[in-house]
Amino acid sequence: MGYPPPSPPATHLRAPIRVLALGDTHLGFDSPRRPRADRPRRGPAFFEAYLRALAPAFAGQVDVVIHLGDLLYRSRVPAGLQGQALAPLLALARAGLPVCLVPGNHERSALPYPLLDRHPDLHVLARPACVRLAVRGLRLIVGGFPFQREGIRPRFRALVAATGLLDTQADIRLLCFHEAVEGARVQGFTFPATRRDVVPGQALPAGVAAVLSGHIHRHQRLTRDLAGRHLPAPVLYPGSTERTSPAERDEAKGCLHLALGAGPTPAGRLLAWRFRTLSAPVAAQGPPRVLSGHPPAWEEAPVERAPGRAREP
Ligand SMILES: [Mn+2]
């Protein structure tokens, strides 16, 4: 009589993987290089929000950073602005923190970054692909694809398949994109499944711990479709990090912190999530204040090395 095979490692005892997810930072908004009118500009507030969102990553408090698209406010921007926008992400990548970036509609679905000063820990999902990370002894696979200008609905399932995410051995799988999902809400509108530019809820794959998306500027979490059926996976939108339109005045702005663990399936589990507020709704902020000054110098922020630093297998 033989012995039973050895048990797999008790992965549930391992520290959860800490993911920081942010999106729609729209850097460059209201930042004219040669302003024609002397009025307070909101541009610096966008950089401040971006850097405050990233602060826990610089402090060594997260294992992976995922930017869900619309890093920049439009697709054609001066090279200096591109460099300024990418610099914090590159600094984190150089310190050994994996950073994934999903191109959004304002990146014309393929970031215009010839300057990319590519770093192996900065992963740009400019085509359907998955990023294999080894974090805290677990295999975290991040699959995704860029924003689809021609409409996501007819091609969604094929794109998910093309990432290879669901065919890759994993302890935890995340699907990331920059699209509206059925049931997503913005001020005065709910996205129906029938639109060509919407992912129908039941088309989402079951084999992922969570779906993360940019594009919708209001933070929200979706667990059911518009018919009330459970979604195959929860969908989380961090929303934009700063207000881009008056329609967002009643929304809190921030980013998401996720704790992910292994098992019982290769999808892994979303153990916990938290929305970290960067700015409260306008009505709760008191009298308006003038936004001025310059973005804080990210270069001066040292990157502390997290104990569970990730390595590429
Ligand atoms: Mn956006």
Distance 262 CA to ligand 1 centre (A): 31
| pTM across the whole model | 0.85
Does 9 reside within a domain? no
Tell me what the mean pLDDT of segment 36-58 comes to.
88
Domain that holds residue 265: 16-30+40-284
| pLDDT category of residue 3 using cuts at 50, 70 and 90 | low
- Taking all residues of the chain, what is their mean pLDDT, rounded to a whole number? 85
What pLDDT does 313 receive?
36
Does 92 reside within a domain? yes
Read off the amino acid at residue 144.
G
Q: What is the spatial distance between Cα 25 and Cα 280, in angstroms, rounded to a whole number?
A: 16
Q: What is the spatial distance between Cα 183 and Cα 213, in angstroms, rounded to a whole number?
A: 13
Given a cut of 80, is residue 67 above it in pLDDT? yes
Distance 305 CA to ligand 1 centre (A): 31
Task: Let me know: does 275 contact 219? Beta carbons within 8 Å.
Answer: yes
Given a cut of 50, is residue 1 above it in pLDDT? no
Does 97 reside within a domain? yes
Q: Around 212, how many Cα atoms within 13 Å sit in the side-chain half-sphere?
A: 30
Does 290 reside within a domain? no
Q: How many domains does the chain have?
A: 1
Distance 75 CA to ligand 1 centre (A): 12
What pLDDT does 162 receive?
98
What pLDDT does 297 receive?
36
Does 216 reside within a domain? yes
To which residue do tokens 């923190």 refer?
A: 97
- What CATH number does residue 23 fall under? 3.60.21.10
pLDDT tens-digit map of 131-157 = 999 999 999 999 999 999 999 999 999
| pLDDT category of residue 204 using cuts at 50, 70 and 90 | very high
Does 289 reside within a domain? no
Distance 179 CA to ligand 1 centre (A): 10
Distance 29 CA to ligand 1 centre (A): 11
Does 35 reside within a domain? no
Given a cut of 80, is residue 12 above it in pLDDT? no
Cα angle 111, 93, 143; round to 5:
60
Pairing of strands 220-224, 269-279: unpaired
Strand residue runs (E) in 44-171: 64-67, 99-101, 122-124, 129-135, 138-144
Does 226 reside within a domain? yes
